[in-house]
Structure 1
Amino acid sequence: MQINEIKISVRNLVEFVLRSGDLDSRFTGSSRALEGTKAHQKIQKEYKDKFSKEKQIPIDELVNNKTIKKEYYAEVVLKHNIEYKDFLFIVEGRADGIIIEGDNFIIDEIKTVTRPLETVDEDYNPLHWAQAKCYAYIYALQNDLRNIDVQLTYYNINDNETKKLIQNFNINDLESFFKDLLEKYYFWANLIKDWNIKRTNSIKNIDFPFNSYRKGQRELAVAVYGTIKEGKNIFVQAPTGIGKTISTLFPSIKAMGENLTSKVFYLTAKTITRSVAEEAIKLMLNKGLELKSVTLTAKDKICFKEKSSCNPEECEFAKGHFDRINNALKEVLSKENIMDRETIIRYSREFNVCPFEFSLDLALLSDCIICDYNYAFDPRVYLRRFFDNDENYVFLIDEAHNLVDRARDMFSAELYKSKFLELKKIMKNKEPKIYKALDKINSYMLKLKKLYKNPHIQSNSLEDIYPLLRKLVSESEQWLTQNNKIEGHEQLLELYFNILTFIRISEFYNDAYVTYIEEQDKDIKIKIFCLDPSSLLYDRVKQAKASIFFSATLTPINYFRDILGGCDNDYILRLESPFSTENRAILIGDRVPTRYKYREKSYSTIVQYIKTTVGSKKGNYIVFFPSYKYMKDVYSELKEKYPNIKTLIQDSSMKEEERELFLSEFKENNEETMVAFAVLGGIFSEGIDLKYDRLIGTIIVSVGIPQVCLERDIIMNYFNKKDDKGFKYAYMYPGMNKVLQAAGRVIRTELDKGVIILIDDRFSNLEYKKLFPKEWYPNLGVRSVKDIENNLKGFWGKY
Structure 2
Amino acid sequence: MSEVRRHRVAVRTLCDFTARQGDLDHRFTPAPSAEEGIAGHAEVARRRGEGYEREVALSGVVEGLTVSGRADGYDPAAHCLEEVKTHRGDLSRMADNQRALHWAQARAYGALLCAERGLAEITLALVYLEVASGRETRLEQRFDAAELAAFLASLCRRYRAWAEQEAEHRERRDAALQGLAFPHVAFRPGQRELAEGAYKAAATGRCLLAQAPTGIGKTLGTLFPQLAAMPRHGLDRVMFLTMKTPGRALALDALGQLGAGPGAETAARQGDGLPGESIERLPLRVLELTAREKACEYPGRACHGEACPLAAGFYDRLPAARQAAVARGWLDRQALREVAREHGVCPYYLGQELARWCDLVVGDVNHWFDANALLHGLAVANRWRVGLLVDEAHNLVERARGMYSAELDQRRLARLRRSAPPALSRPLARLARQWHGVVKEAGLAEAGETGRPAYRVLDALPSAMVGALQGAASSITDYLGEHPEGASPELQELLFEALAFTRLAEAFGDHSLCDLARHGRGRAVLGLRNLVPADFLAPRFAAAHAAVLFSATLAPPGYHRDLLGLPAETVWQSVASPFAAGQLEVRLRTDISTRLRDREASLSPIVAELAGQYRRRPGNYLAFFSSFAYLEQARAAFAEAHPAIPTWTQVRGMGEPERDAFLARFTPQGQGIGFAVLGGAFAEGVDLPGQRLIGAFIATLGLPPFDDFNEALKARLQARFGRGDDYAYRVPGLIKVVQAAGRVIRGPGDRGTVVLMDDRFARREVRARLPEWWQLPGTPGGAGGPTHTTRP
> Does TM, scored on the shorter chain, surpass 0.5?
yes
Q: 1:236–1:574: 8 Å Cα contact kept in structure 2? A: yes
Which one of 751, 758, 761 corresponds to residue 760 of structure 1? 758
C-alpha separation in 2, matches of 1:304 and 1:123:
22
Which one of 286, 299, 305 corresponds to residue 306 of structure 1? 299
Q: Which residue of 2 aligns with 1:199?
A: 173
Report whether the alignment pairs 1:352 with 2:344.
Answer: yes
C-alpha separation in 2, matches of 1:538 and 1:246:
27
C-alpha separation in 2, matches of 1:158 and 1:361:
31
What displacement does 1:530 show?
1.5
The residue type paired with residue 499 of structure 1 is A
Report whether the alignment pairs 1:370 with 2:362.
Answer: yes
Q: Which residue of 2 aligns with 1:652?
A: 652
C-alpha separation in 2, matches of 1:766 and 1:191:
61
What displacement does 1:283 show?
0.9
With over 3 angstroms needed to count, the CA separation of the structure-2 counterparts of 1:587 and 1:187, relative to structure 1, is same
C-alpha separation in 2, matches of 1:340 and 1:732:
39
Q: Which residue of 2 aligns with 1:214?
A: 188
Q: Which residue of 2 aligns with 1:553?
A: 553
Q: What is the SS of the residue equivalent to 1:464?
A: helix
Q: What is the SS of the residue equivalent to 1:37?
A: helix
Which one of 308, 314, 319 corresponds to residue 315 of structure 1? 308
Range that drifts further, 122-131 or 632-641? 122-131
Q: What is the SS of the residue equivalent to 1:780?
A: coil
Q: Which residue of 1 aligns with 2:777?
A: 780
Q: Which residue of 1 aligns with 2:231?
A: 257
The residue type paired with residue 426 of structure 2 is K
Q: What is the SS of the residue equivalent to 2:773?
A: helix
Q: Which residue of 2 aligns with 1:65?
A: none
Q: What do residues 232-287 of structure 1 show as CA deviations (whole Å, max 9, x unaligned)?
A: 21111111122111111111111223352111111111001000001011111133
Range that drifts further, 499-508 or 37-46? 37-46
The residue type paired with residue 490 of structure 1 is P
Q: 1:380–1:501: 8 Å Cα contact kept in structure 2? A: no
What displacement does 1:82 show?
4.3
C-alpha separation in 2, matches of 1:577 and 1:82:
57
Which one of 171, 178, 183 corresponds to residue 157 of structure 2? 183
Q: What do residues 519-547 of structure 1 show as CA deviations (whole Å, max 9, x unaligned)?
A: 22331222222211102101112222111
Q: 1:266–1:370: 8 Å Cα contact kept in structure 2? A: yes
The residue type paired with residue 646 of structure 2 is K
What displacement does 1:147 show?
7.2
Q: What is the SS of the residue equivalent to 1:740?
A: helix
For residues 265-284 of structure 1, what are the structure 2 equivalents within 5 Å?
A: 265-284=239-258
C-alpha separation in 2, matches of 1:122 and 1:366:
28
Q: 1:584–1:755: 8 Å Cα contact kept in structure 2? A: yes
Range that drifts further, 352-361 or 507-516? 507-516
Q: Which residue of 2 aligns with 1:13?
A: 14
Q: 2:512–2:532: 8 Å Cα contact kept in structure 1? A: yes
The residue type paired with residue 20 of structure 2 is R
RMSD: 2.9
Q: What is the SS of the residue equivalent to 1:388?
A: helix
C-alpha separation in 2, matches of 1:710 and 1:177:
64
Q: What is the SS of the residue equivalent to 1:191?
A: helix
Q: 1:40–1:110: 8 Å Cα contact kept in structure 2? A: no
Q: What is the SS of the residue equivalent to 1:370?
A: strand
The residue type paired with residue 621 of structure 2 is Y
Q: What do residues 681-732 of structure 1 show as CA deviations (whole Å, max 9, x unaligned)?
A: 1000111111121111111111101223443222112112223322221121
Q: 1:134–1:174: 8 Å Cα contact kept in structure 2? A: yes
Q: Which residue of 2 aligns with 1:361?
A: 353
The residue type paired with residue 428 of structure 2 is L
What displacement does 1:319 show?
1.1
Which one of 406, 411, 414 corresponds to residue 407 of structure 2? 414
TM-score under structure 1 normalisation?
0.87
With over 3 angstroms needed to count, the CA separation of the structure-2 counterparts of 1:117 and 1:702, relative to structure 1, is closer
What displacement does 1:325 show?
1.9
Which one of 217, 221, 225 corresponds to residue 243 of structure 1? 217
C-alpha separation in 1, matches of 2:313 and 2:776:
64
Number of residue pairs matched by the alignment:
748
What displacement does 1:185 show?
1.4
Q: Which residue of 1 aligns with 2:634?
A: 634
C-alpha separation in 1, matches of 2:58 and 2:770:
53
Q: Which residue of 2 aligns with 1:447?
A: 437
What displacement does 1:337 show?
3.0
What displacement does 1:447 show?
1.2
With over 3 angstroms needed to count, the CA separation of the structure-2 counterparts of 1:72 and 1:446, relative to structure 1, is farther
The residue type paired with residue 382 of structure 1 is L
C-alpha separation in 2, matches of 1:376 and 1:311:
27
C-alpha separation in 2, matches of 1:510 and 1:178:
48
What displacement does 1:649 show?
0.5
Q: 1:27–1:481: 8 Å Cα contact kept in structure 2? A: no
What displacement does 1:149 show?
6.4
Q: Which residue of 2 aligns with 1:38?
A: 36
With over 3 angstroms needed to count, the CA separation of the structure-2 counterparts of 1:422 and 1:181, relative to structure 1, is same
Which one of 396, 400, 420 corresponds to residue 403 of structure 1? 396
Report whether the alignment pairs 1:741 with 2:739.
Answer: yes
Q: 2:84–2:127: 8 Å Cα contact kept in structure 1? A: yes
Q: What do residues 300-350 of structure 1 show as CA deviations (whole Å, max 9, x unaligned)?
A: 11111222521322211111111212222222332x332111122222222
Q: Which residue of 1 aligns with 2:321?
A: 328
Q: 2:22–2:97: 8 Å Cα contact kept in structure 1? A: no
Q: Which residue of 1 aligns with 2:269?
A: none
Q: 1:39–1:155: 8 Å Cα contact kept in structure 2? A: no
For residues 423-442 of structure 1, what are the structure 2 equivalents within 5 Å?
A: 423-427=416-420, 431-442=421-432
Q: What do residues 200-224 of structure 1 show as CA deviations (whole Å, max 9, x unaligned)?
A: 2321222011111122222222222
For residues 63-82 of structure 1, what are the structure 2 equivalents within 5 Å?
A: 70=51, 82=61
C-alpha separation in 1, matches of 2:98 and 2:249:
44
With over 3 angstroms needed to count, the CA separation of the structure-2 counterparts of 1:135 and 1:563, relative to structure 1, is farther
C-alpha separation in 1, matches of 2:524 and 2:372:
24
The residue type paired with residue 563 of structure 2 is I
C-alpha separation in 2, matches of 1:727 and 1:102:
65
What displacement does 1:372 show?
0.7
Q: Which residue of 1 aligns with 2:789?
A: none
Q: What do residues 154-173 of structure 1 show as CA deviations (whole Å, max 9, x unaligned)?
A: 12134232234456767665
Q: 1:702–1:760: 8 Å Cα contact kept in structure 2? A: yes
Q: What do residues 11-33 of structure 1 show as CA deviations (whole Å, max 9, x unaligned)?
A: 332112111111110011233xx
C-alpha separation in 1, matches of 2:69 and 2:672:
60
The residue type paired with residue 725 of structure 2 is F
* Structure 1 segments unaligned to the other structure (5+ residues): 52-68, 783-790, 792-799
Q: What do residues 621-661 of structure 1 show as CA deviations (whole Å, max 9, x unaligned)?
A: 10111111111101111100000001111011111111111
* Structure 2 segments unaligned to the other structure (5+ residues): 265-278, 445-454, 782-792
Q: Which residue of 1 aligns with 2:590?
A: 590
Q: Which residue of 2 aligns with 1:297?
A: 290
C-alpha separation in 2, matches of 1:550 and 1:148:
57
Q: 1:216–1:578: 8 Å Cα contact kept in structure 2? A: yes
The residue type paired with residue 177 of structure 2 is I
Q: 1:441–1:465: 8 Å Cα contact kept in structure 2? A: yes
What displacement does 1:504 show?
2.1
Q: 1:459–1:513: 8 Å Cα contact kept in structure 2? A: no
Report whether the alignment pairs 1:497 with 2:496.
Answer: yes
Q: What do residues 24-52 of structure 1 show as CA deviations (whole Å, max 9, x unaligned)?
A: 10011233xx3x5313224416746989x
Q: 2:542–2:567: 8 Å Cα contact kept in structure 1? A: no
What displacement does 1:501 show?
1.6
C-alpha separation in 2, matches of 1:563 and 1:222:
26
Report whether the alignment pairs 1:155 with 2:153.
Answer: no
Q: What do residues 358-406 of structure 1 show as CA deviations (whole Å, max 9, x unaligned)?
A: 1112222211111111111111453434443422011111111111011
C-alpha separation in 1, matches of 2:97 and 2:21:
15
Q: 2:619–2:694: 8 Å Cα contact kept in structure 1? A: yes
Q: 2:237–2:360: 8 Å Cα contact kept in structure 1? A: yes
Q: 2:379–2:386: 8 Å Cα contact kept in structure 1? A: no
C-alpha separation in 2, matches of 1:98 and 1:16:
23
TM-score under structure 2 normalisation?
0.88
Q: 1:401–1:551: 8 Å Cα contact kept in structure 2? A: yes
Q: 2:457–2:709: 8 Å Cα contact kept in structure 1? A: no
Q: What is the SS of the residue equivalent to 1:630?
A: helix
